[in-house]
Structure 1
Amino acid sequence: MPTLTRSPWTLRDSEKLYRISGWGDPYFRINAAGHVEVTPQGMQQQEPGIDLYQLVTDLVARGLQLPLLIRFPEIVADRIGRICGSFQQAIERFGYPNVYRGVYPVKVNQQRHLVEEVVNHGRAYHFGLEAGSKPELLIALALLDTPEALLVCNGYKDRDFIETALLAQRLGRTPIIVLERLQELELVLEAADKLGIDPILGVRAKLSAQGIGRWGTSAGDRAKFGLTATDILQVVERLRKAGKLHCLRLLHYHIGSQISMVSVHGRAVREASQIYIELVKLGAPMGYLDIGGGLGIDYDGSQSTNHSSQSYSLEDYAATVVQTVLTTLEPHGIQPPILVTESGRALMSHQSVLVFDVQDINAASPYPMPTQLTSDAEVIQKLNQLYYEIQPDSLTADYRRCQELKDAALRQFTEGSLSLQERAQVERLFWNCSDKICTLAYEQHQAGHPVSVDLLDLDEMLASIYYGNFSLFQSLPDSWAIDQVFPIMPIHRLDQEPRQWATLADLTCDSDGKINRFFGDDGQITSVLPLHDPDGEPYLLGVFLGGAYQEILGDLHNLFGDTNAVHIRSRPGGYRVSQVIKGDTISEVLSWVQYNSEDLAETLHHATEAALQQGQISLSEARSLQRHFEDNLRAYTYLH
């Protein structure tokens, strides 16, 4: 790997390389020891933060195995406070004559401990919950006891869902049933008549304004959810006919997740405000405008319009929403509504860190150049000569020539004119030539000279593979499924220069179980991650901003289960462990695919008895096998 800098390495160099000052603010930074430090209450906290490397070391000493998912509930509390505070600030600034009521979409992370944190910390802000399925509705109904908090019911609904939501009113809850399809209205009217309860209704509108990037199609004519203008008018007329128009209280829309530009929010809010005006003019009392999710976070730390970034602040977002609604409704003399948002990603992403250890490395280092060639094959002689002739001003041509010679050698081997030993010499020489070309190309690029993209892409081919003790499919499914890029970096040794280019591979027996998309120091996507050589010592990497969606989307590929998880709270001078959630055992994951551990153990016992009778296994070997089998059933699914 080319040296990243020729001057002594500093903590500032690591900050720039891994961009932690961008995506980590205000919760993650590098401390004087060269370790990642966590400040769960934001940078404003007076006490030193929590040293993440020391924390992991302590947790392992307590008997918790890696990988570890470390949650910081105080970050959830801080995120709620920041979002609500930004809206309150905008309401006061513009003289908005109503209030803000946030709701947390339970689908983002349904873990009980986290939903309870939202309810507890959100109580002061009347923070509510959003449910998109019957299981989520039951969670929200049981846990949400906050006065004035909303229970927003989205998603497709059946009669049981609707009746449960209606009956929640009897407990003093405020369930708002948002109509996603016209067919749901009849179910609501029938259930309301049966129970004698007037529903609190909302409609989800399909806006013409759309988000950008991966989730841009969440709105528009072909969106999965929502009602067209024609549908909304039919809802109004059906409610009027049923004498229930007074039940229509909320307008909802969602234009997609991770919106990187505040102007996109502004366009959507303005369009929705016009629909709101028309609904009021048609006789609906209304009262709530739910602008859905879409509040982004800055994954790459660039504060830009990149799809993985966010070019606006929480204050910009709140001000845009408040001012747009106010200025759109004011000329019509309509009372501005209670503003509702469903910001899940922005609320949950920062609160957890996945830490795993590197188990092994397939190192990519140049072979020593031979002092004397052991073959007089022409292709070997030419590759050897090419290595010494490579020049900075002819890199593209040199690499093309290098590839041609390698291809020629492979043809000759296939035809039988090159031996296996000669093929190995060709591979070593090709590797050395490629490494030299890549190094010179990198130096040219760093000096500001134009370099072929093909040459810059050589870094992945020459990168070492770091094998991590984790499952991509269990812990970071979006990395595999939708090419989501998360910040990944060492949590220690940040006072030292990383001299290895690396890609990451997980424990699964799947070629897709790898990570080769990272954020470079310029904010662009790169195929390699600079890392240190472990030198035989434990080497720990952290994956950040993965607290939204990843835990619940994870699957059991190769039967790797949930990781160990801990909840950490800060205290003066340190931290305390408030919760330990043990990861899945092998027995548990086997039961999820219909295996009974006792039956498996009994089957193995019969097999060993039969082998003993036939003299295929000794008694001590049989006992050892049985012991290993039973111990492993109780063990963590990941490696020691």
Structure 2
Amino acid sequence: MVDYGIQYWANDDFFIEDGRVKVNYKNSPALIEIVKKAREDGYRGPLLIRFPHLIKKQIEKIFQSFEDSIKENHYKGEFKAVFPIKVNHYPNFILPLMELTQKRCYGLEAGSKSELIIAMAYTNANAPITVNGFKDKEMISLGFIAAKMGHDITLTIEGLNELETIIEVAKTMGKPYPKIGLRIRLHSTGAGAWAKSGGFHSKFGLSATELVEAIDLLKKNHLLEQFMMIHFHIGSQISDISPLKKALRESGNIYAELRKMGAKNLRYVNIGGGLAVEYTQYENHQNRNYTLAEFSGDVVFTLKEIAKNKKEPEPDIFIESGRYVCANHAVLISPVLELFSQEYDEKALRLKEKNPPLIEELYDLYNSIVEKTAIEYLHDSLEHMESLLTLFDLGYIDLQDRSNTEVLVHLIIKKVIKILKYKNHRDIIRIQEQVQERYLLNCSFFQSLPDYWGLGQNFPVIPLDKLNKRPTRSASLWDITCDSDGEIAFNKNTPLFLHDIDVNKEEYFLGFFLVGAYQEVLGMRHNLFTHPTELSVVFDEKGEYSIENLLEAQTILDVLDDLDYDTKEIERRLKQKLEESEEIPDDSKKEVLGQLYVMLSENGYLRTVFKGEGAIL
């Protein structure tokens, strides 16, 4: 059985049994069965499957870890948290999140007016709302309205101009006021792709000089009592715990100094996000060097020590670790449409009565390979291929000879891999790197895995079944966009091996895991491929699951309408051009028009017939 590194990334959320990936919850359904159930109802193309119970699991882990650290360190402050809406703003995530956290002090963080409206509508009573990012007068006024609605809202100031606007709005709108937070610009920086979120040159935050000026402004305008939070963020996906410890010491001392300057209502330290998710499938390629327990323990211990030394009260701790909360709740499932070298079988051979000598030798190598000679014959065949391709370039052999060359060499490679599949021979790895199987997937990496394209972020990928069979093909993955960047190439350092299957005889699905954070909100409509069909898998008390919140991918007309095309005009033009066409018989035009309307009412992903059972991928 091949486990695809499931022990590193799955977080005990999924496991392998009977060759299939299963959900480690309740009655443990197999993912392949969930997919087939959805497809039986007519939903084609890629699927995004959500598991709400995994949202709750992550929330409970975070709260439990911090509560344990608070108890262990006899810490007097409390722990609270908010979810940054920017990480996943889709309703089929946000609404379950709020429902599942009603008994926790867990709210939402907004970074725009639209996000603030979501927070005001859905944040549970007595749960906090924090507002980060740049703000204008209208957005600040919206924060005042939230306060008047009874929300526990904190407006975090990114610059002195925002504080001046708060003072102006406070004079016109009056009490109750929102709480005020100050984002501090730390000297400390993070580690990883988002390290620039910290440091003196970071985009956000107030310098020490600006903090002093902010305190003076608050005192002068009788708003110092509303100043209750400091906030910092040193980057998403913090890989190393050391920069966080340094940032905590710096922010803890700033907290204490601000209180000594008269900010006696300051009692919250918001450490931002950054709690890392483990994406790796491979040993010694870990994305973080700490555990959740170490993370919470360091936060609590450091702030306690500083408060003790400075003789100030221990602050309440806020975090915004959105990635950790939502990454694992969603899985992207994509059907494999084609294996591009499957045309290289014996049926494709068209040998002549008289073939070039090197092709005759290749044919002999193919028929006589045994384990003892496998590597030697493999090397010989690759040398023959280079020679034959050179002969073709020089005009000494024809296109049929070249085709026979390619077919024979691929047949030899497949035969050698099959013979030696249980041996970890370095030559096999090297050859597989050179001659990869290209798997065409019915999805768009730009839409569903944008961080792979933009940042080189790898996501765990695993077949949904056949895991009791050893995969033999070195795999590179192609999406269906017409862009060369739509490829996840084979990497010898982190190799992906998949099964050699015939998609005309059997279906084969790949699952991409940990895609619940940022991928949906950042996904782009390259080639106008849209968000895939999504569904939630919800378990009842008996352990049985049901498919809920099913939302089909947008139709072609919906997509064009979103782009502000006049879809009625498009339909009119298409109908007119069809009626004017002299190539379509008049008695067929009505039927063709009907076919066209059907296509316009479907999503843009491919609908390929699976010949084995007549199913559609």
Shorter chain as normaliser: what TM range? 0.7 to 0.9
- Do residues 488 (structure 1) and 461 (structure 2) align? yes
**Distance of 1:218 and 1:358 partners within structure 2:** 39
437 and 541 in structure 1: CA distance in 2 versus 1, 3 angstrom threshold: closer
- Do residues 98 (structure 1) and 77 (structure 2) align? yes
Unpaired runs of 5+ residues, structure 2, are 608-617
**2:453·2:486 contact (CA, 8 Å) conserved in 1?**
yes
- Do residues 564 (structure 1) and 564 (structure 2) align? no
**Distance of 2:161 and 2:415 partners within structure 1:** 66
Residue of structure 2 in register with 1:548 after alignment: 517
1:235-634 matches, within 5 Å, as 235-285=214-264, 286-301=266-281, 306=285, 309-363=287-341, 374=354, 413-424=392-403, 427=406, 446=424, 456=429, 458-516=431-489, 525-526=494-495, 528-534=496-502, 536-571=505-540, 572-611=542-581, 614=582, 616-634=583-601
Q: TM-score, normalised by structure 1?
A: 0.85
RMSD after superposition: 3.3
Q: How far off its partner does 1:34 sit?
A: 2.1
Q: How far off its partner does 1:180 sit?
A: 1.5
Residue of structure 1 in register with 2:99 after alignment: 120
Q: 1:79 aligns with which of 53, 58, 64?
A: 58
**Distance of 1:331 and 1:303 partners within structure 2:** 42
**Residue identity opposite 2:579 in structure 1:** E
Q: How far off its partner does 1:294 sit?
A: 0.5
348 and 161 in structure 1: CA distance in 2 versus 1, 3 angstrom threshold: same
Residue of structure 1 in register with 2:188 after alignment: 209
**1:601·1:629 contact (CA, 8 Å) conserved in 2?**
no
Q: How far off its partner does 1:637 sit?
A: 2.2
Residue of structure 2 in register with 1:21 after alignment: 7
332 and 482 in structure 1: CA distance in 2 versus 1, 3 angstrom threshold: same
**2:433·2:490 contact (CA, 8 Å) conserved in 1?**
no
**1:39·1:49 contact (CA, 8 Å) conserved in 2?**
yes
Unpaired runs of 5+ residues, structure 1, are 1-12, 41-46
Residue of structure 2 in register with 1:6 after alignment: none
Q: How far off its partner does 1:371 sit?
A: 10
71 and 237 in structure 1: CA distance in 2 versus 1, 3 angstrom threshold: same
Give the SS at the match of 1:272: helix
**1:566·1:580 contact (CA, 8 Å) conserved in 2?**
yes
**Distance of 2:535 and 2:363 partners within structure 1:** 55
Give the SS at the match of 1:617: coil
Deviations 1:587-639 (A, max 9, x none): 1011122223332222222222222xx5x321343122101111112112222
Residue range with higher mean Cα deviation, 275-284 or 261-270 = 261-270
Q: 1:167 aligns with which of 137, 145, 148?
A: 145
- Do residues 36 (structure 1) and 21 (structure 2) align? yes
**2:51·2:330 contact (CA, 8 Å) conserved in 1?**
yes
Deviations 1:517-541 (A, max 9, x none): 67x8xxx533x33234145111121
**1:597·1:633 contact (CA, 8 Å) conserved in 2?**
no
**Residue identity opposite 1:333 in structure 2:** K
**Distance of 1:532 and 1:434 partners within structure 2:** 13
Q: 2:43 aligns with which of 64, 69, 86?
A: 64
Q: How far off its partner does 1:157 sit?
A: 0.7
**Distance of 2:161 and 2:506 partners within structure 1:** 62
**Distance of 1:635 and 1:498 partners within structure 2:** 35
Deviations 1:463-484 (A, max 9, x none): 2111111111111111111111
**1:364·1:462 contact (CA, 8 Å) conserved in 2?**
no
**1:105·1:130 contact (CA, 8 Å) conserved in 2?**
yes
**Residue identity opposite 1:120 in structure 2:** E
**Residue identity opposite 2:526 in structure 1:** H
**Distance of 2:261 and 2:421 partners within structure 1:** 65
**Residue identity opposite 1:494 in structure 2:** L
Residue of structure 1 in register with 2:67 after alignment: 88
98 and 498 in structure 1: CA distance in 2 versus 1, 3 angstrom threshold: same
**Distance of 1:373 and 1:389 partners within structure 2:** 23
**Distance of 1:389 and 1:561 partners within structure 2:** 48
Q: How far off its partner does 1:582 sit?
A: 2.1
Q: TM-score, normalised by structure 2?
A: 0.88
352 and 202 in structure 1: CA distance in 2 versus 1, 3 angstrom threshold: same
**1:435·1:462 contact (CA, 8 Å) conserved in 2?**
no
**Distance of 1:426 and 1:366 partners within structure 2:** 10
Deviations 1:313-361 (A, max 9, x none): 2222111111111012111111011100001000001111111211121
**1:565·1:582 contact (CA, 8 Å) conserved in 2?**
yes
Residue range with higher mean Cα deviation, 89-98 or 491-500 = 491-500
**1:180·1:227 contact (CA, 8 Å) conserved in 2?**
yes
Q: 1:229 aligns with which of 193, 204, 208?
A: 208
Q: 1:191 aligns with which of 157, 162, 169?
A: 169
**2:128·2:153 contact (CA, 8 Å) conserved in 1?**
yes
**Distance of 1:417 and 1:237 partners within structure 2:** 86
**1:254·1:291 contact (CA, 8 Å) conserved in 2?**
yes
**Residue identity opposite 1:89 in structure 2:** D
**1:366·1:435 contact (CA, 8 Å) conserved in 2?**
no
Q: How far off its partner does 1:559 sit?
A: 1.6
**Distance of 2:372 and 2:113 partners within structure 1:** 64
266 and 429 in structure 1: CA distance in 2 versus 1, 3 angstrom threshold: same
Question: How many residue pairs get matched?
Answer: 600
**Residue identity opposite 2:593 in structure 1:** Q
**Distance of 1:457 and 1:325 partners within structure 2:** 51
Give the SS at the match of 1:151: strand
**Distance of 1:60 and 1:384 partners within structure 2:** 43
Give the SS at the match of 1:569: strand
**2:418·2:472 contact (CA, 8 Å) conserved in 1?**
no
Residue range with higher mean Cα deviation, 315-324 or 54-63 = 54-63
**1:463·1:501 contact (CA, 8 Å) conserved in 2?**
yes
**1:50·1:570 contact (CA, 8 Å) conserved in 2?**
no
Give the SS at the match of 1:503: strand
Give the SS at the match of 1:49: coil
Give the SS at the match of 1:300: coil
Residue range with higher mean Cα deviation, 231-240 or 367-376 = 367-376
**Distance of 1:547 and 1:486 partners within structure 2:** 11
**Residue identity opposite 2:2 in structure 1:** S
Give the SS at the match of 2:182: strand
**Distance of 1:335 and 1:77 partners within structure 2:** 31
Q: How far off its partner does 1:173 sit?
A: 0.9
Give the SS at the match of 2:275: coil
**2:281·2:460 contact (CA, 8 Å) conserved in 1?**
no
371 and 163 in structure 1: CA distance in 2 versus 1, 3 angstrom threshold: closer
420 and 66 in structure 1: CA distance in 2 versus 1, 3 angstrom threshold: closer
**Distance of 2:599 and 2:66 partners within structure 1:** 52
Q: How far off its partner does 1:497 sit?
A: 2.1
